[in-house]
Amino acid sequence: MASSSVDPVFTIADIRAAAARNLDPKWLQYLNEGAMDLITVKANESAYDRYRIMPRILRDVAQVDPSTTVFGAKVSFPFGFSPAAMHCLAHPDGEVATSRAAAKAGIAMGLSHWATKSLEDVKQASEDLGATNPYGIQTSGATKKDEIVGLVKRASKAGYRSLLVTVDAPTIGRRLNEYRNGIDLPKGLSFPNLSVSPENFRAIVRDASTTFSDFLPWLDSVVPDDMEIWLKGIYTAEDVILAASYRCVRGVIVSNHGGRQLDGAPATFEALPDCAAAVRSLNAGRAPKDKLMLGIDGGIRRGSDIFKAIAFGADICFAGRVPIWALAYNGQAGVERALELLKDEFEMCMCLAGCKTLQDIGLDSLALVEGGAPGLIKRLSKL
């Protein structure tokens, strides 16, 4: 825990290391690891290191503006929390503490239907602070339809602005740490947003037969007009185009479930360029209010990672592990510190790269390192 007025952590890596000292080893492995050999888990982070930022100089960057709009509301910078299960494993205040920090920072928050605090309490934590930051509730395309209907009704009543539908989990990936350690929920924790028992929650039945054509029209019929539908777990341009063919879909998130599903799937940053190109092509013929939004999660640990994702065409970046590490480090104050670091890093990156607004960040802001040889880079605008 932080023990002085000067916070001893200066990067997300510092927060992750501090969390490791506070978490039970079993739950640390559950949080940090993923499927099989962790190839995709590791690639999610390392993929960003293959690109360099190309600064432009002598530009007016005395005041940069990192703000944007997501889920129909203004946010302080293009970053939000991905829906991630069981924040109470890291701290007793769990998702409520995460919500307070998100509200104070003015960012978007996605809440997992596997949260260990009720969706009403999580949203109320923001309202108690007088905040207007947007919230999304997550469910899965493999979840029983009656569960989805009940969740949507509750979330809509509580003021959630979006439904984030996980579409890459028709079954659970082979997570070896869970086989070795087991995954019995600690006594006293439950899932207040699902009608499942904490004692046998892994036995929940999933519908692996769900398809675009049978699921999305039905989903559109049960989600109110003031809730946006986003699909989370897109990897390819083909599926971006398929998703966009259903006008109810407002956004897609390039995500591989934090490397917890298919090991060997591409890092999300590797999959982003093709998906972004598809979104640009689709949006060329759409009115501004109908444009498809593009998000990404997986491996974002620095403000420069956010910058690189925005340069490739993402509208918003998300992270799921970061707030849980921060909770384990120092509760709500830890999450606030994590957000402070990421926002400061991103704003500094914008300034040093010569970008005053998000619109100034583009492909010409990046270069690709080729062949692993130092100095051999190619500007993306030249490729």
Give the tens place of pLDDT for each residue, 249-280.
999 999 999 999 999 999 999 999 999 999 99
List the binding residues for FMN: 83-85, 112, 166, 232, 255, 297-301, 320-321
How far is CA 188 from each of CA 20, 22, 99, 182, 191, rounded to the nearest angstrom?
Answer: 22, 19, 21, 17, 10
Instruction: Say what the pLDDT of residue 203 is.
Output: 61
380 confidence band (pLDDT: 50, 70, 90): confident
Range 22-39 average pLDDT:
94
In this prediction, residues 362-378 reach a mean pLDDT of 79
The annotated binding site is made up of 30, 83-85, 112, 166, 175, 232, 255, 257, 260, 297-301, 320-321
Q: Is the pLDDT of residue 208 over 80?
A: yes
Lowest mean pLDDT among 81-85, 130-134, 166-170: 166-170
Q: Based on the residue annotation, tell me whether 87 is a catalytic residue of this protein.
A: no
pLDDT more than 90, % of the chain: 84
* Top-confidence residue, 36 or 142: 36
Confidence of residue 322 (pLDDT cuts 50, 70, 90): very high
Whether 376 has a pLDDT exceeding 80, the answer reads: no
Alpha-carbon span 168 to 212, nearest angstrom: 12
Q: Which residues are annotated as a binding site for glyoxylate?
A: 30, 175, 257, 260
Q: Give the residue-averaged pLDDT of 13-21.
A: 97
Residue 1: pLDDT over 50: no
pLDDT tens string 197-206: 766 666 666 7
Q: How confident is the model at residue 383 (pLDDT cuts 50, 70, 90)?
A: very low
pLDDT at res. 271: 97
| pLDDT value of residue 202 | 64
- pLDDT averaged over the chain? 93
Distances (CA, A) of 336 to 22, 71, 286, 289: 18, 22, 37, 32
pLDDT of residue 6: 63
Reported CATH class of domain 14-382: alpha beta
In angstroms, the CA 383 to CA 366 distance is 11
pLDDT value of position 364: 94
Q: Which of 87, 91, 113, 257 is catalytic?
A: 257
User: Confidence class of residue 45 from pLDDT cuts 50, 70 and 90?
Assistant: very high
> Taking residues 119-137, what's their average pLDDT?
98
